[in-house]
Amino acid sequence: MHIKINYPLKNFNTFGIALNAPFFSSFTDEQELLSLLNYVKAGQKEVLILGGGSNVLFTKQPQDWILKNEIKHFEIAEDSKDYAIVKSGAGNIWHEFVLETLKHNLFGLENLSLIPGCVGAAPMQNIGAYGVEIKSTFHHLDAIEIATMKNVSFNNQECKFGYRESVFKNIYKKKYVITHVYFKLSKIFQANIEYGAIKEQLTAMGIEKPTAKDVSNAVIAIRQSKLPDPKVLGNAGSFFKNPTISNEQFLPLKEKFPNMVSYPVANNEVKIAAGWLIEQCGLKGFRENDYGVHKNQALVLVNYGNASGSEIFQLSEMVIENVKSKFGITLEREVNIY
Ligand code: FAD
Ligand code: NAP
């Protein structure tokens, strides 16, 4: 167990915010985690678990003891004719895990290729992209409850997955450390390529009947062409969720703004592309000092180098106010603010 004091976090959050952790340690198994939790409790500190740091914004000097999850594990926990249940350590890199499942000819995660971060954070916000969310393949997870240090499991229903939501992002925030995640993956591939530009990308690649690996490659190509690489430009992906509004609220807005980008969802509700709303406020490409709104994707706030977390947070406030005043819609942050 190695405990680092006053440890720089710049390389541990994809926004590249330069703050120091008062105490920082990593753990590679449950035993090490339990020892660290004992230490943290003895010092009457709180714990913040970090995976890849691709969905956090540090706005002030952290007070918590930061524990980086490095539990690496890959196992076919159950094998049957049509499916397998795969167990992954929470510290595995998500994209590497997806590629490993494809190597084993297990399907269902291919549309989620190249999402940054670790497996343990995936259930936090039911990660989703290109028409797929993990809730459709998530089986259960193992976690340690911080208060009692007991092992617990959560099945799919108990996680209460929603759009970029789960119990871990709200009522159980900072209450559990997710240690392993299990996915039920199919041995029969069914392409899910209706969403966005996947079909066009496959056509451009000369592929008519895609394999799962082809779909993964197409998603990788689209993502690399559209999204800023955090290694080059600090960001945490979409800063805001796409808001869902009632048909009642939507219809007059659509009359006033006929080009509004929207998608019908269940229960007479409509999802609005938040990036479009921000762009209409004239904020796409906005920059002041080292913080700004990305020039190609208005949903992404960026750090050009030395922005502070509080500057980026203030920018998000400004975006929310502008969208509220023009459209009457309140944007909700997707990124976890600390
Ligand atoms: P972190 O940022 O380290 O942590 C996020 C939150 O989860 C924190 O609150 C943290 O305390 C908690 N946490 C992390 N690990 C654990 C654990 N083991 N136990 C308990 N709590 C934990 N997201 C999508 O859904 N879809 C996308 O397509 C997508 N694209 C992105 C593209 C870019 C360029 C970037 C930068 C981000 C993108 N994201 C996307 C957001 C992000 O990658 C995901 O939310 C990812 O799952 C975060 O993983 P992480 O390990 O980096 O989490
Ligand atoms: P895009 O394809 O340009 O689409 C813009 C928005 O419209 C998306 O956010 C998406 O909502 C919605 N959308 C597009 N086609 C849709 C369809 N057929 N049905 C329903 N909704 C549709 O978006 P992008 O920025 O390039 O991202 C592509 C995918 O990667 C999206 O799924 C996005 O969520 C995901 N992504 C997420 C993050 C993150 O940090 N959370 C970052 C980058 C990319 P949804 O977001 O609900 O899919």
258 confidence band (pLDDT: 50, 70, 90): very high
Q: What is the pLDDT of residue 41?
A: 84
pLDDT in tens, 219-232: 999 999 989 999 99
Q: Is the pLDDT of residue 143 over 80?
A: yes
Ligand 1 in contact with 71 (CB < 6 A)?
no
Q: What is the pLDDT of residue 43?
A: 77
Q: What is the pLDDT of residue 1?
A: 73
pTM of the full predicted structure? Answer: 0.97
State the Cα–Cα distance between residues 294 and 73, nearest whole angstrom: 36
| DSSP H or E run through 78 | strand 74-79
Burial class (CB in 10 A: 0-12, 13-18, 19+), 80: exposed
Ligand 2 in contact with 239 (CB < 6 A)?
no
| DSSP H or E run through 336 | strand 336-337
pLDDT in tens, 24-74: 999 999 999 999 999 888 778 899 999 999 999 999 999 999 999 999 999
Give me Rg for the CA atoms of the chain.
Answer: 21
Nearest CA to ligand 2 atom 8: 273
Q: Stretch 237-245: mean pLDDT, rounded?
A: 97
Is residue 75 within 8 A of residue 86, CB to CB? The reply is: yes
Residues labelled as active-site residues: 164, 238, 334
Is residue 331 within 8 A of residue 325, CB to CB? The reply is: no
Ligand 2 in contact with 237 (CB < 6 A)?
yes
Q: By percentage, how much of the chain surpasses pLDDT 90?
A: 96
Ligand 2 in contact with 227 (CB < 6 A)?
yes
Mutate to test the pocket of ligand 2, among 215, 229, 238, 300 (most ligand atoms within 8 A of CB): 238
Q: What is the pLDDT of residue 266?
A: 78
State the distance from the centre of ligand 2 to the C-alpha of 111, rounded, in angstroms: 12
Nearest CA to ligand 1 atom 28: 129
151 forms bridges with which residues in the sheet?
Answer: 144
DSSP 32: H
Query: What strand order describes the sheet that includes 262-265?
Result: 244-246, 269-272, 262-265
Ligand 2 in contact with 226 (CB < 6 A)?
yes
State the distance from the centre of ligand 2 to the C-alpha of 242, rounded, in angstroms: 9
Q: What is the pLDDT of residue 127?
A: 98
Q: Which atom of ligand 2 is nearest to the CA of 127?
A: 41
Torsion angles phi and psi, residue 149, rounded to 5: 65, 25
DSSP 168: G
Could you write out the DSSP letters of every residue in 93-145?
BHHHHHHHHHHTT-BS-GGGTT--SBGGGTTTTT-EETTEEGGGTEEEEEEEE
- Expressed in percent and rounded to 5, the helix, strand and coil fractions of the chain are 30, 30, 40
